[in-house]
Structure 1
Amino acid sequence: MSFVHTERVRFGDLDANRHLNNVVFLRYFETARIAYLRELVPSHDPANPEADAFGLIFAECHINYRSPVLFDEEVAVRCSIGNVKRSSFRVEFEMRVGSRLVAEGYGVLVGFDYTAQAAAQLPDELRETLESETGAPAGSAG
């Protein structure tokens, strides 16, 4: 995994069983994913997609919960780029507290044309940047 973001569990992040709330796992992944993409593509600004006609839409998420997380634990969220296709790509993640795996999964992001309000192909430069993170040869994705 090529990028790590950490979060400290706050009291407000807990559910009624005093474990990290399932929806907060998604929030932690979102924060890590956005930071990772900003590092890879500094021009990426999810808060202002209309500044550029092209943007990314979060289309799918899959999470396997492996172990409860407790108050004040530090969660390391590791992200990497998975499968890169013509108009979408996967950001894979795992979350650990120390060496303990607490969750793993992926999210799919789809290219989006804000002018046409429709899915769009990933620009070549973006696809090449993403593919360089996977170790796949540039241009090899379908």
Structure 2
Amino acid sequence: MYFRYFETARLDYFRHISLMEDMAVTNVGPVLGDTYCRYKLPVTYPDTLLVGSRITEVKEDRFTMEYKIVSHKLGKVTTTGSATIVMFDFNTNKKGLISEKLMKAIEATRNGSLD
């Protein structure tokens, strides 16, 4: 279930930086290279979980995302995770590069200036 939470957070982040719209133009999009999850505290029902994501490292063809899940009931981080997202060129079936437009959107989000 936690990987689904991470996926939802990742897709919401992609929506925020218009990654899928960029992919529609460039035909270069994200594929999941690897993912990791660390369980720190057990969560029990009923509870509300808050899931956050951010990009922590960017290279020309990939980026790393970090996730945190916070229990509303406990007021603590219960789970952390990360993922490597590799850009894939669907025209050539090879790794692709992050477009300049997407790179600017990622940087704007990392700097807190994206609306």
- TM-score, normalisation: structure 1: 0.69
Deviations 1:75-114 (A, max 9, x none): 1001112101111111211001022211112111111101
Change (3 A) 1:119 1:44: same
Matched, 1:81 2:58: no
Matched, 1:130 2:106: yes
Unaligned stretches of 5+ residues in structure 1: 1-23, 136-142
Name the SS of the counterpart of 2:2 in structure 1.
helix
Q: As a proportion of its length, which structure holds more helix?
A: 2
Q: Is the 8 A contact 1:84 1:131 kept in 2?
A: no
CA distance in 2, matches of 1:107, 1:59: 7
Matched, 1:109 2:102: no
- TM-score, normalisation: structure 2: 0.84
Q: State how many pairs are aligned.
A: 108
CA distance in 2, matches of 1:81, 1:132: 11
Residue 67 of structure 1: aligned partner: 41
CA distance in 2, matches of 1:50, 1:131: 21
RMSD across aligned positions (CA): 1.8
The list of structure 1 runs, each at least 4 consecutive aligned residues, that deviate by more than 6 angstroms after superposition, is: none
Name the SS of the counterpart of 2:102 in structure 1.
helix
Name the SS of the counterpart of 1:44 in structure 2.
helix
Name the SS of the counterpart of 1:127 in structure 2.
helix
CA distance in 2, matches of 1:50, 1:44: 6
Corresponding letter in the other structure for 1:28: Y
Unaligned stretches of 5+ residues in structure 2: none
CA distance in 1, matches of 2:87, 2:97: 6
Counterparts in 2 of 1:9-88, with a 5 A limit? Answer: 24-41=1-18, 44=20, 53-88=27-62
Counterparts in 2 of 1:3-14, with a 5 A limit? Answer: none
* Percent identical residues: 23
CA distance in 2, matches of 1:75, 1:127: 30
